[in-house]
Chain A
Amino acid sequence: MYGLSERRGLGAAVAGAVRQSGAIGALGIVVALFGLLTSRQDYLLEGATAMTFAIAATGLGLALGLSGEYLLGQIAVFAIGAYTTADLTANRHWSFWPACVLGVVAASLAGLVISVVGLRISRFYFALVGFFLVYLIPDLTQVADSQTGGGAGLAVPDLPSFFGHELRNRGMFFLALVALLLSLVLVQNVRLSPLGIQMRWMRVAPLSLATFGVRVWRVRLATYVLSSALAGLGGAIYSHLSGYLLPDDFDLNTTVLLFAAVVVGGATSLLGPTVGIVLLYVVPRLVINVSGYSDIIYGAVVLISVVVFRDGVDRFVREGAAKAWWWIVHRVRRVPLRRAASTVDERQSGVSATASAVVPNVDELADLLMGLRDDSVTRRGSLVIRGARKAFGGVVALVMDPDDVVAIEPGRVHVLLGPNGSGKTTLLNALCGVFELDSGSVSVGGDVVNGVSATRLARLGVSRSFQSPQFPVEMSPVELLSGSLVTMRRLSYLHWMSSDLAATRARRDATDFAARIAAMAGLETAMNRPCSGLTSGQRRILDVLLALVTRSSIVLLDEPAAGLSNLERRQLGDLIRALAARGMGLLAIEHDLDFALRIADEVTVLANGRRLAHGRPDEVRADPLVRTALVGGAGV
């Protein structure tokens, strides 16, 4: 795959999986030891309850932290899982295990139903819907009182049995622990899978996701279903903990507990929600047990946790470590500044090293990028826009004549020039399906694609870069690029969810490949650090690479050279030419006339939404109108 012949052994793959699961394993061992050693039944019961909440919180963390979806009705779904399971065992005398499975299924279905709402309304209204759903729980249990026992509650007398053993408190504790660990492993695998990376993109830049050819609604749907399934699992186990199920168990307090646990623990980290449950549920309860001032201390512990860990426990720990390191280097060891700086530098592999120190082999990079595409690329034909007109509110952005054509043909570079506000980005947006034209047509290879979505156009082989690129900033360039690469592997979700050998290998190959092209494109020093630390030039390079790491035959670049140094510009120009020579069709928006004319086969100049000039670079250069429009008569 990707032209890399390197294969790695089973041992390396297993070692990688073990490393990823280290934290989960450590958590499991600590909790298991506690469960084995404690003799207090109430600790076991509270511990198991906490773990069922942690399972639901982990699901909520997936929705909130990764996808940015405010699924605050989580506790209602938790209740559905609980009541379904309890009804089946208590009223219909099913065994616990199939009832539990059905509870999870019912919860997932509820997630599906919720998603119908979630796909239609925006995030804060959706959050409110979740809150109000919680108020409905007592009424709903009343309506279905033959199944749920209504307000009086439902007795769940039977204990689950495991190979003939009844699971009492200690047994349920370990059942909850196993379920929690499995949930964490599942979520960990999802986070590393293409789906997890798409969820992160959806949070910050849904439009980017669409232009990668991903159906955004499907990512959202998957978020809801997965998150609900976990809530259902938590609920199913919860229903058999105390022997009695009351509607009051699922009130607003529990909703707030789950939400606060995710926020305080750190929504973006895997173990954050579990840590949050420990801080906001377990710790306060331990304190209550040892003192008489229970409510005050409970309140104080929660308040202090929220204030101290306001950015999430994970960030608190990470930034604390970074600060501590800085102090050790500068104050304690009294290292002179210069040396201190270079120590930090070696550790972080250099903010400072200049991108221009790398002179990439442009042809090799172009070969690698074209290697992602199959031979049909060049046969797909041109992307053509004809007679484009578009107005936003009262503002006319594009008013091209009906016969005016802008064509991006395979193997050619088309450059779009024009003053600010002349409609260049509007034209590019229309070309890749971000919005529909008021009149005019867009076609791919002769087929008219008016009104076709950005996702669909991306699948037809049109990708783009952005003028102000946005990324999930917690991820590194290599992670983002390899995320695109693994998405191209048609590996089923079964592989990703279980993170088996095929998935591990695909991920490893993609990471190697991503690192290779990132290094060749001059991102070597920054490629393994979070994108939040990228300079504007590095962001630009990464965004262009993301548009190129696709199967697209047509690539549209919005000001790809902005913020680049002269050397980087030259290399970008060479890369664009090399890609065109290999059959790709490119459109680039540019301001620098010399750079534009050097890379272009064909130039279109826009002014005030009209086509001012069009032709070969030398024709356009000679046009006095163009010079006036672009340089303002001042001459450069």
Chain B
Amino acid sequence: MSDLVIESVVAGYGGTDVLRGVSLTVRQGECVGIIGPNGAGKSTLLKVISGQLRIRSGHRRLLGKDATSWPAYRMAAAGVRWVGEPRPIFPSLTVRENLEIGGMTRRGVWDEQFKRVCELLPVLGQRQQETAAQLSGGQQQMLAIGSALMSAPSFLCFDEPSIGLAPSVVNVIAELVSQLVSEGVGVVWAEQFLDVVLPRCSTVALLRSGEVVERGATSEFTRERLEDAYFG
């Protein structure tokens, strides 16, 4: 019951279906890696999971409830947060205001989460009075992640969070994901880089041409098998 499930989902833009019947289950306390080449539908899948793209056919269920037609704000309020491009931040607001907005759905946890986010991503605490536009590209990415964490989400969708981040920060985020997962957060992490995502995930789904072509526990996937599948 503690799952986020999508079933045989078809979704796309205009006259094109990008996803052609994708099913995926994310449990709380589990990290699912979505991997696949550019254009495979990873971003589209994450938009479907987080409610930003209408489902044309198929279903979405959150914690046992039918959430197929829920819009993005309702998914977010229910604890499903998304970080990707374009970065979900407000450039004209300060870092602190951005974080406050991020925590709006869960006001009760503000102090605790703010402290935690500043510990994990110290630069946000240091620069909290500056506007988000003044941050560098990588710092803006950190802010987007911090803002999502402010709501103490139950599910997190990460669409290539490593883009533009220095390796040291990518490591911090990877650690963070492991920690969140151990605390019972469900994470869906889309990446092109097997090296970044594989060690952190219990389950991997390989997407190609809008379909899940391989899926299983990470341990079942040898590197060779993945690369074969990847390059088809």
**Cross-chain contact A319 with B14 (CB below 8 angstroms):** yes
B172's nearest neighbour on chain A, judged by CB, is A632
Q: B73 an interface residue at 8 Å Cβ cutoff?
A: no
Interface residues of A in 528-581 (CB under 8 A from B): 533, 535-538, 559, 562-568
Given the complex of chains A and B, what is the CA–CA distance between A421 and B166 in angstroms? 10
**Cross-chain contact B16 with A591 (CB below 8 angstroms):** no
Q: B21 an interface residue at 8 Å Cβ cutoff?
A: yes
Interface residues of A in 587-616 (CB under 8 A from B): 591-593
Interface residues of A in 341-368 (CB under 8 A from B): 341, 344, 347-348, 351-357
User: Hey, which chain A residues are within 8 Å of B198, CB to CB?
Assistant: none
B227's nearest neighbour on chain A, judged by CB, is A566
- Out of A323, A340, A538, which one reaches B38, CB within 8 Å? A538
- Out of A341, A526, A592, A629, which one reaches B17, CB within 8 Å? A341
Q: B208 an interface residue at 8 Å Cβ cutoff?
A: yes
User: Hey, which chain A residues are within 8 Å of B222, CB to CB?
Assistant: none
Q: A326-B15, A533-B13, A536-B43 are in contact. Are A565 and B192 (CB under 8 A)?
A: yes
- Out of B37, B41, B85, which one reaches A356, CB within 8 Å? B37
Given the complex of chains A and B, what is the CA–CA distance between A338 and B40 in angstroms? 15
User: Hey, which chain B residues are within 8 Å of A631, CB to CB?
Assistant: 167-168, 171
User: Hey, which chain B residues are within 8 Å of A419, CB to CB?
Assistant: 138, 166, 168-169
User: Hey, which chain B residues are within 8 Å of A392, CB to CB?
Assistant: 134
**Cross-chain contact B210 with A351 (CB below 8 angstroms):** yes
Q: A21 an interface residue at 8 Å Cβ cutoff?
A: no
Given the complex of chains A and B, what is the CA–CA distance between A383 and B99 in angstroms? 40
Chain B nearest Cβ from A47, distance in angstroms: 36
Q: A340-B17, A536-B43, A568-B38 are in contact. Are A421 and B134 (CB under 8 A)?
A: no
**Cross-chain contact B138 with A322 (CB below 8 angstroms):** no
**Cross-chain contact B15 with A421 (CB below 8 angstroms):** no
Chain A 169-182, CB-CB to B under 8 Å as 1, else 0, gives 00000000000000
Chain A 415-430, CB-CB to B under 8 Å as 1, else 0, gives 0001111101100000
Q: A124 an interface residue at 8 Å Cβ cutoff?
A: no
Q: A30 an interface residue at 8 Å Cβ cutoff?
A: no
Of the 9-residue stretches B108-116, B157-165, B178-186, which lies at the interface with chain A?
B157-165
Chain A 306-343, CB-CB to B under 8 Å as 1, else 0, gives 00000000000001011101100010000001101100
- Out of B15, B164, B167, which one reaches A562, CB within 8 Å? B164
**Cross-chain contact B165 with A536 (CB below 8 angstroms):** no
Q: A395 an interface residue at 8 Å Cβ cutoff?
A: yes
Q: B100 an interface residue at 8 Å Cβ cutoff?
A: no
User: Hey, which chain B residues are within 8 Å of A340, CB to CB?
Assistant: 17
User: Hey, which chain A residues are within 8 Å of B165, CB to CB?
Assistant: 420, 591
User: Hey, which chain A residues are within 8 Å of B41, CB to CB?
Assistant: 351-352
Chain A 441-470, CB-CB to B under 8 Å as 1, else 0, gives 000000000000000000000000001100
Given the complex of chains A and B, what is the CA–CA distance between A535 and B167 in angstroms? 23
**Cross-chain contact B15 with A322 (CB below 8 angstroms):** yes
A318's nearest neighbour on chain B, judged by CB, is B14
Chain B nearest Cβ from A445, distance in angstroms: 30
Q: B130 an interface residue at 8 Å Cβ cutoff?
A: yes
Chain A nearest Cβ from B8, distance in angstroms: 8
User: Hey, which chain B residues are within 8 Å of A418, CB to CB?
Assistant: 166
Q: A325-B15, A536-B163, A563-B160 are in contact. Are A420 and B142 (CB under 8 A)?
A: yes
Q: A393 an interface residue at 8 Å Cβ cutoff?
A: yes
User: Hey, which chain A residues are within 8 Å of B209, CB to CB?
Assistant: 352-354
Q: B10 an interface residue at 8 Å Cβ cutoff?
A: yes
Central interface residue in B37, B38, B86, by most chain A CB within 10 Å: B38
Q: B64 an interface residue at 8 Å Cβ cutoff?
A: no
Given the complex of chains A and B, what is the CA–CA distance between A392 and B86 in angstroms? 24
- Out of B10, B169, B208, which one reaches A352, CB within 8 Å? B208
**Cross-chain contact A323 with B15 (CB below 8 angstroms):** yes
Interface residues of A in 499-552 (CB under 8 A from B): 525-526, 533, 535-538
Chain B nearest Cβ from A576, distance in angstroms: 19
**Cross-chain contact A351 with B39 (CB below 8 angstroms):** yes
User: Hey, which chain B residues are within 8 Å of A344, CB to CB?
Assistant: 15-17
**Cross-chain contact A421 with B17 (CB below 8 angstroms):** no
Q: A425-B136, A467-B137, A563-B163 are in contact. Are A355 and B17 (CB under 8 A)?
A: no
- Out of A338, A348, A354, A467, which one reaches B232, CB within 8 Å? A354
- Out of B20, B138, B141, which one reaches A341, CB within 8 Å? B20
Q: A630 an interface residue at 8 Å Cβ cutoff?
A: yes
Q: A341-B210, A344-B16, A533-B13 are in contact. Are A565 and B166 (CB under 8 A)?
A: no
Chain B nearest Cβ from A316, distance in angstroms: 13
Chain B nearest Cβ from A591, distance in angstroms: 5
B84's nearest neighbour on chain A, judged by CB, is A536
Interface CB pairs A-B, < 8 A, 20 = A326-B15, A337-B10, A338-B21, A348-B16, A356-B37, A395-B134, A419-B169, A420-B139, A421-B123, A421-B135, A536-B163, A562-B164, A563-B38, A564-B38, A567-B231, A591-B165, A591-B167, A630-B166, A631-B168, A632-B169
Closest 3 CB pairs of A and B: A420-B138, A632-B168, A352-B209
A323-B15, A392-B134, A425-B136 known, 13 other contacts, Cβ within 8 Å: A319-B14, A326-B15, A330-B56, A351-B16, A352-B41, A393-B134, A420-B164, A421-B135, A421-B138, A535-B39, A592-B167, A631-B167, A631-B168
